[in-house]
Amino acid sequence: MQKKNKIIIAVIVAIVVICGGFYLYASHSVARHVPGHVYQYTSVSGNQKAYMTFAKDSDEVVVTPSKSKALKANGSDSDFQDVYNSNSNSGKWNYEAKGSRLTLSKTQDGKVSLWQYNHVLAFGKKIRSGSFTYQIANAGQGVDHKSTNFKQIR
């Protein structure tokens, strides 16, 4: 009977260690996943999509409703800068990916708006955030506890 209990305990410990390791990896790997990739973002209501192309070597990000522009920006460094600069009349976007957070900021007319995605899990071609906080210039701030998903398309 004791041998059987030891085996059960060993299996449970192994499962906890494996699941904990997976969670630790996924919750702290967003900084390795986003640079140089294009993600499709679907709004929490599910009715709008945006595409985000994250720069490979800087904190810039192209945010656009146009999938073709996002994919073009991912072609080369000069393509990225061309698309980024052509979209700059509607604001300049930057990002910071650190730990289990992904923060997007938009600077327009000297005012900054922020979206911080919290409790981010990044694994494979998907990023999931359990909630996000926002602070929009001239519009207010708040917290949304709905899950947000990003899907890598390139």
Residue pLDDT, tens place only, 44-69: 777 889 999 999 999 999 999 999 99
Q: Is 24 helix (H, G, I), strand (E, B) or coil?
A: helix
pTM of the predicted model, to two decimals?
Answer: 0.87
The tens digit of pLDDT for each residue in 119-146 reads 999 989 999 998 999 999 888 899 999 8
- 30 phi/psi in degrees, rounded to 5: -60, -35
Q: Region 11-19: what's the mean pLDDT?
A: 93
In the chain, the N- to C-terminal Cα span, in Å, equals: 54
DSSP letter (8 states) at residue 79: H
Domain coverage including residue 52? 2-152
Contact criterion met (CB below 8 Å) for 49 and 79: no
The whole-number pLDDT of residue 11 equals 93
Number of domains in the chain: 1
The whole-number pLDDT of residue 108 equals 93
The yes-or-no verdict on residue 1 having pLDDT over 80 is no
d(CA 115, CA 98): 14
What is the pLDDT confidence band of residue 25, given thresholds at 50, 70 and 90?
confident
The yes-or-no verdict on residue 97 having pLDDT over 90 is yes
Chain centroid to Cα 54, Å, comes to: 10
Q: Region 101-121: what's the mean pLDDT?
A: 95
